[in-house]
Structure 1
Amino acid sequence: MSNPPETGPKIGVEKAEVTDKQLRKALNVFDIAYLVIGAVIGSGWLFGSFYAAAKAGPAAIISWLLGGIFLMFIAFSFAELGGMIPKSGSIVRYPQYSHGSLTSFILAWAYFLSAITVPPAEAEAVVTYMSSYVHGLLTPTGVLTLEGGLVAFAFLTFFFLLNYFGVHVMGKTNTAVGWWKLIIPILTVALLLGLFLHPANFTAVPGGFVPYGWAPVFMALPTTGIVFAYLGFRQGIEYGGEAKNPQRDLPLGTVIGFLICMAIYILLQVSFIGAIDWSKLSLKPGDWTDLTSTVLSSGPFYEIMKISGIPILMAFGIVLLIDAIVSPSGTGWIYTGTSARTFYGMAADGHLPDWFLKLNRWRVPMWSTIAAWLVGALFLIPYPAWVYIITFISSTTVLTYVVVGSTLVVLRKTAPEAPRPFKLPVPYVFGALAFIFAYLIPYWSGFTTMWGVTALVLAGLPLFFMYTSVNRFGVRRSNAAILGVIYWIVLALSTIFLIYYDIIVPYNAASAAGTALPFSIKYVIPFVAYVIIMLAMTVAFIYIIRMWSNEEGKQHINAGWWVLGLIFTTLILDFFGPFSVWTSPPLPFPYDTITAAIIALILFFWSVRSGIPTKDLEIVLKEMGVIKEERK
C-alpha cells in the first residue's frame, strides 16, 4: 500500500535549511528578553489578577507563584534547546528532531490551535478596556458586538502589517514598547501598595487567605489567565533563527525576561488583592466570586483607581487606559509573528506545503504571516470574549509543552556532541518535572475545557494521514483520504452525541441553576463509549497508516504512540476528578493530582524510551557542522 520512498519529494527540513539561512539575523539579547517581556506582559496583567482573585481569593498569590515555578522548569528546558538548535518556529520543530513526524504533527497541530488564537485574544482585551470609555463595543455580558468585532479585526490587521514588513522593524518597535510595558505595571504596584492598601483583605475577611479551599488555587492556573500570561516566555525561542548570536542570546534573554515578569505578576496580584474596597463595590467583605459582577470586569486596575477617590490614582487611571491598548497590542503583534513561525515550522517538518516556507522581500515568512492574520481573525467568531479564549489557549499550549522535558533527555542521548551553551544539570530531573507540570496544567483546566481541546487535537490526525504520511512515508493518497474522512465523521458524531448532548448540555443546565451533575452511570456510560470508540479507532487507523508506510514512517509512528496516552489519560482523569462536572467527584482533590503526577511520570519515561535519532536531526547537525558525515 506504499509508494517507493525515493519517489517522494525532498523532506521539509532540507528545504527549510535553505530558507533558514535567508532569515534576517537582527535580534540581540535585549530584543530576545523584550520579546519575552512584551509577550508575557500583555492582557494577562490587565485581567489575570482580577479573574484569579475571583477564583481563589487572596490565595491567588500562591497561584501566580506556583505557575511561575511550574513554567520555569519548562522555560529552562526550552532555553537549553534554544541555545543548542536555534530555529524559527522551533517549538514545533524540536519534537520532529527527537520523536519524528507523528509526535511532531500532533503537538504542532495543538500548538497551532493555541498560538493562532492569541492575537485575537489580545485584540479582544484592547476592545474590552476601550469599552470603559467607548460605548457599543461590548454587550452587557462582556461579549463583543459587531462594532467591537470590527475594531478587534482592525487591531489584528495592524499586528499583521507590523510583522509583514520585517523582523527588524517588529523587534526594535517591541523593544521600545517593552520599556513602557515594564514601567507601567511597576508604577501600578507602587501606587496601589503605597496609597490604597487594605491589609485586612489578605487574612481578616471572611474565608481568610484560602476562602474556597486549595483546589481553586490550582484550577486558577489555566482558567484565569495565569498560565496564559506566563506562556510568553517561549517567544524568544520562536524567533531563534533570526537572532544575531542565538547560542548565547536565546537562553540568556529567555531566562532574564521570564524572571522579571514572574516578579511583576506576583506583585500585581498582591497589589490588586490589597486594593479591593468592598464598600465601594457594594459587596460583602470576602465575597471574591462576585467581583466578576462588579464594574471591575470591564477594566480591573483602571476601575479600582477610578473609584478610589484619590487624585493621583484617578489621574494614573488615564495612563492605564492608554496601556490597555499598548500592552495587549505589543503581545498581539509578537504572537502574530509566532503564529506565522508555527506555520513555517510545520512546513519545515513536512506537515504543510512548501509555500509556507517562502520569504517576502523583507525576509519574513510571507504566506505564513498572511495565514496567521486571516485564520486568527476567524477565532473572533466562536470566542467573542477574552475570558472565553484564554482557557482554550492555555490548555492547548501547555499540552504541547509536555514534550520539551522528554526532548531535552532524548537529545542528550541522540546528539551528545551538539553545542549547549546553556546546559541544565541533572537533565532527567529537569525533564521529568517539566513533563509533569506541563501535564498537570491542562488537567487542571477541567473537563468542560478538555473535551473540546481533545476533539480539536484529534481532528488534526486526518491531515497527518492525508498529507504527511503521503508525502514523506509513501502512503497512497486515496487510501489516506478514505481513512481521514471516516475518522472525521466518527469523531464529529461521537463528540456531539456522546459528550456534548449527553454530558455538557445537562451540565450547562445544572450550572445555570447554580449546581452540578450527580455522579451517575447515566453520564458515565456515554463517556466510556466515547473513549473506547475514539481510542480504538485512533490506534487502529494509525496502525494501518504504519503498515502502509515505508521504514522511516514505521519508525516515526513507533516513536509517537505515547502521545495518545497523553491525550486520553488527561481527558479520563479530568472526567473523574474534581475539575469535572460532578457535585461529588469519585476522585477528589488532592488524590486526583497525585494520580495525574504519577501517570505523567510514567508517560515521561515512555516518551524518553520512544525517542529516536531522526533523519531531520542528522540534517540539522550536519548543517551546523556538528557532524561531518551521515550516521550509519
Structure 2
Amino acid sequence: MPASRVKSPHLLVAESGADREGHGLKRTMGLFQLVCFGVGAIVGTGIFVGLSDSVAEAGPAVVVSFVLAAITCVFTAFAFAELGGAIPVSGSSYSFAYAGLGERTAFLVGWCLLLEYGVSVSAVAVGWSQYVNELLDTVLGVQLPHALSAGPGDGGAVNLPAVVVIALASVLLMRGVRESARATAAMAVLKLAVLLAFCAIGFYAFQDGNLTPFSPAGLGGIGAGTTAAFFSYIGFDAITTAGEEAKNPRRDIPVAILVCIGLVTLLYCAVAVAAIGAVGGDQVGNRPAALSYVVDRVTGSAIGGGVVAFGAVVAIASVVLAVMYGQTRILMSMSRDGLIPRVFEKVSPRTATPVAGTLIVGVVFALPAAFAPLDAVVNLCTIGTLATMAAVNVSVITLRRREPGLARTFRVPLYPATPLLGVGFCLYLMYETGGATWLQFAVFLAVGLLVYSAYGRRHSRLARTAVSADDAERVPQEA
C-alpha cells in the first residue's frame, strides 16, 4: 500500500452504495430539491448580515467583489460538478481528495470541512440571533435581554436564539431527509421572494450619486471586500453531500451546482446595487441588519423592515439546516473509512438518517454559537473553505491523469486551465485573509495532523484491507 493510501473512485462508489440505496439512506431528492438545497445552504448570513462588512471594505465596488468571489466559485464549481457526477457519494470534498490526493490529505480536507460546515453553523446561528431581535423589535417593540442574545465576546452571557435554531435544525434532520428537503425548498422560495422584493424597493429609490466614489479604498478595498464577500458563497458544495440521497446524482448534481452559482451571483449583485443605490455605501456599511435599515429608510415605515427581518430569520435558519446536513454526511463518510469513530456512520433504520451523528454535531456546534462572536470565526471559515476548494481543483487534475476512463457526466471546460485558475484564485483569497488568520489556520491544521496520526491512520479501513490482502497473497508462497 502506498504511503498516500489513495482510494479509487470505483471503490468509493461501491462502498457507499451510491449506485443503489447507500447504507440505509434513501433517494428522495430530485433536481428542484437539490437546487433549493444549494440555495438554502448559500443564501443567508452572508447577504443578510455580511453585506455590510463587504460594503465597508469596498464601497459601491462591492459588486466587483461579489463577481470576483463568484469567479473563484465558478472555477471550483466546475471541479465539483465533474467530481460530483463521477463520484456521487456523501463525502463531497473529502471523498474527492481521498481519490485524488490520498488519505492524509483527505483527512485534512475533512478536518477543514469542520470549519466550512460545522463552525460556520455557529457563525450563521449568531447572525440568526441578530435578526430575531430585529424582528421582535419591529413587530412587538421588544427585544430579548442582551445577556441572553449575545455571547461573552459581545457583552452578553449566552446566545440563546443561536442555540435554539441549531436545536430545531437537528430535530428536523433527525426526522428524515424528505421532511428536511421539503422545509429547505419552502424556505428557499420564501427568502428569494423577500430578496427580490427588497431589490424592487431599493431600485425604486435608486440615486446615481450614491454609487460615487465607486471604489473609495481602491484595489485593496476590492480585494478585502472579495474575501468578505466569499463568505456569502460558502455552502454551494453542500449539494455534493447529497450524492447518496439524490434520485439521479450523476446528472442532477452538476446541473444543480452550476444553476445555484449563477442564480446566487445575480441575486447578490442586484441586492448590493439596490441597497447602496438607495441610501449610499456609508449607510449600508457596518450595519448588521443593513437590509432592514434600507427598507425602513426608503418606505418610512417599519413594516417593510419587519418583512425583510422575517425573510432573514427564515433564510438563515435554512442555511443552518442545509449546512448541518452536509456536515453529518461528511462525518458519516469519514466514519465509514475508519478515520473517525464509528458512531457517525450509524443510520437509523426508522428515519434513514444518522441520528447519533446529527445529535453530536448539534451539541458540539451549539457551544461556540452560544459563547463566540460572529467575527471570531468568519475568516477562519473562509480560509478553511478555500483550502478545500483548492484541493478539489487539484483532485480533478490528478484524477484526469490517474483515471482517464472514469465515467464523467460533466467535464471541466478548458481543462487544465480552469482548475489551475481555480487554485490560483483560492490561493489569492487565502492570502487576503491576513497573517493572523494564517497563523490560526496553521495551528488548526497541526491539530488535525495530530488527530490523524493518533487515531485516523491506525484505524483506517483502507489500510487494514490492504494488510489483509497482502497476508492472503503471502499464504500460498509460505505454504
Pairwise TM-score range, normalised by the shorter structure: 0.7 to 0.9
Distance 1:370 1:54, change over 3 A: same
Alignment-mate amino acid for residue 243 of structure 1: A
Q: CA deviation at 1:248?
A: 0.7
**How far apart in 1 are the matches of 2:88 and 2:377?**
30
Distance 1:399 1:382, change over 3 A: farther
**How far apart in 2 are the matches of 1:330 and 1:215?**
33
Residue among 178, 187, 202 paired with 1:192:
202
Which residue is equivalent to 1:272? 275
Which residue is equivalent to 1:326? 314
Q: CA deviation at 1:259?
A: 0.6
**How far apart in 2 are the matches of 1:398 and 1:353?**
26
Q: CA deviation at 1:13?
A: 8.5
Which residue is equivalent to 2:83? 81
Structure (1 or 2) with the larger CA radius of gyration: 1
Distance 1:276 1:183, change over 3 A: same
Corresponding residue SS for 2:154? coil
Distance 1:239 1:12, change over 3 A: closer
Which residue is equivalent to 2:292? 302
Residue among 140, 157, 164 paired with 1:146:
157
1:72-119: per-residue Cα shift (whole Å, max 9, x none)? 100111011111110112221111111211111112111123311122
Distance 1:303 1:473, change over 3 A: closer
1:389-434: per-residue Cα shift (whole Å, max 9, x none)? 2222111111111111111121122222222111123321111111
Q: CA deviation at 1:54?
A: 0.7
Distance 1:473 1:258, change over 3 A: closer
1:304-354: per-residue Cα shift (whole Å, max 9, x none)? 22233545xx43212112112100000111111111112112223331122
Aligned-pair RMSD on alpha carbons?
A: 2.7
- Residue 215 (1) aligns with residue 224 (2): no
1:587-609: per-residue Cα shift (whole Å, max 9, x none)? xxxxxxxxxxxxxxxxxxxxxxx
Stretches of structure 2 lacking an aligned partner (at least 5 in a row): 6-10, 138-142, 471-479
Ranked by relative contact order (alpha carbons within 8 Å, sequence separation 6 or more), the top structure is 2
Residue among 393, 418, 423 paired with 1:435:
423
**How far apart in 1 are the matches of 2:386 and 2:56?**
23
* Contact 1:12/1:354, CA 8 A, preserved across alignment: no
- TM-score using structure 2 length: 0.87
Corresponding residue SS for 1:426? coil
* Contact 1:13/1:349, CA 8 A, preserved across alignment: no
Alignment-mate amino acid for residue 368 of structure 1: G
Q: CA deviation at 1:184?
A: 0.9
Distance 1:140 1:24, change over 3 A: closer
Q: CA deviation at 1:378?
A: 2.3
Which residue is equivalent to 1:236? 239
- Equivalent positions of 1:305-384 (< 5 A) are 305-311=295-301, 314-360=302-348, 361-380=350-369, 383-384=372-373
* Contact 2:211/2:277, CA 8 A, preserved across alignment: yes
**How far apart in 1 are the matches of 2:180 and 2:191?**
15
* Contact 1:101/1:349, CA 8 A, preserved across alignment: no
Alignment-mate amino acid for residue 387 of structure 1: D
Which residue is equivalent to 1:251? 254
Which residue is equivalent to 2:175? 165
Q: CA deviation at 1:301?
A: 1.0
Alignment-mate amino acid for residue 363 of structure 2: L
**How far apart in 1 are the matches of 2:428 and 2:343?**
37
Q: Determine what percentage of the aligned residue pairs are the same residue.
A: 24
Corresponding residue SS for 2:292? helix
Alignment-mate amino acid for residue 163 of structure 1: L
Distance 1:473 1:373, change over 3 A: closer
* Contact 1:98/1:410, CA 8 A, preserved across alignment: yes
Which residue is equivalent to 1:448? 436
Which residue is equivalent to 1:426? 414
Alignment-mate amino acid for residue 471 of structure 1: H
Distance 1:375 1:142, change over 3 A: closer
**How far apart in 1 are the matches of 2:249 and 2:172?**
23
Which residue is equivalent to 2:187? 177
Residue among 85, 109, 112 paired with 1:110:
112
Q: CA deviation at 1:287?
A: 5.1
**How far apart in 1 are the matches of 2:323 and 2:437?**
22
- Equivalent positions of 1:414-563 (< 5 A) are 414-472=402-460
Which residue is equivalent to 1:38? 40
**How far apart in 2 are the matches of 1:421 and 1:13?**
15
Stretches of structure 1 lacking an aligned partner (at least 5 in a row): 6-10, 278-285, 475-548, 554-614, 616-632
Q: CA deviation at 1:268?
A: 0.9
- Residue 260 (1) aligns with residue 263 (2): yes
**How far apart in 2 are the matches of 1:27 and 1:264?**
24
* Contact 2:112/2:385, CA 8 A, preserved across alignment: yes
Which residue is equivalent to 1:569? none
- Residue 96 (1) aligns with residue 102 (2): no
1:439-493: per-residue Cα shift (whole Å, max 9, x none)? 222211111222112111211111111112222399xxxxxxxxxxxxxxxxxxx
- Residue 202 (1) aligns with residue 191 (2): no
Distance 1:406 1:85, change over 3 A: same
Alignment-mate amino acid for residue 362 of structure 2: W
**How far apart in 2 are the matches of 1:124 and 1:192?**
26
Which moves more between the two structures, 437-446 or 24-33? 437-446
**How far apart in 2 are the matches of 1:52 and 1:221?**
7
**How far apart in 1 are the matches of 2:170 and 2:424?**
35
**How far apart in 2 are the matches of 1:171 and 1:409?**
33
**How far apart in 2 are the matches of 1:231 and 1:245?**
24
1:544-602: per-residue Cα shift (whole Å, max 9, x none)? xxxxx99979xxxxxxxxxxxxxxxxxxxxxxxxxxxxxxxxxxxxxxxxxxxxxxxxx
**How far apart in 2 are the matches of 1:473 and 1:180?**
44
* Contact 2:153/2:372, CA 8 A, preserved across alignment: no
Corresponding residue SS for 2:421? helix
Which moves more between the two structures, 114-123 or 265-274? 114-123
* Contact 2:295/2:304, CA 8 A, preserved across alignment: yes
Q: CA deviation at 1:262?
A: 0.7
Alignment-mate amino acid for residue 365 of structure 1: P
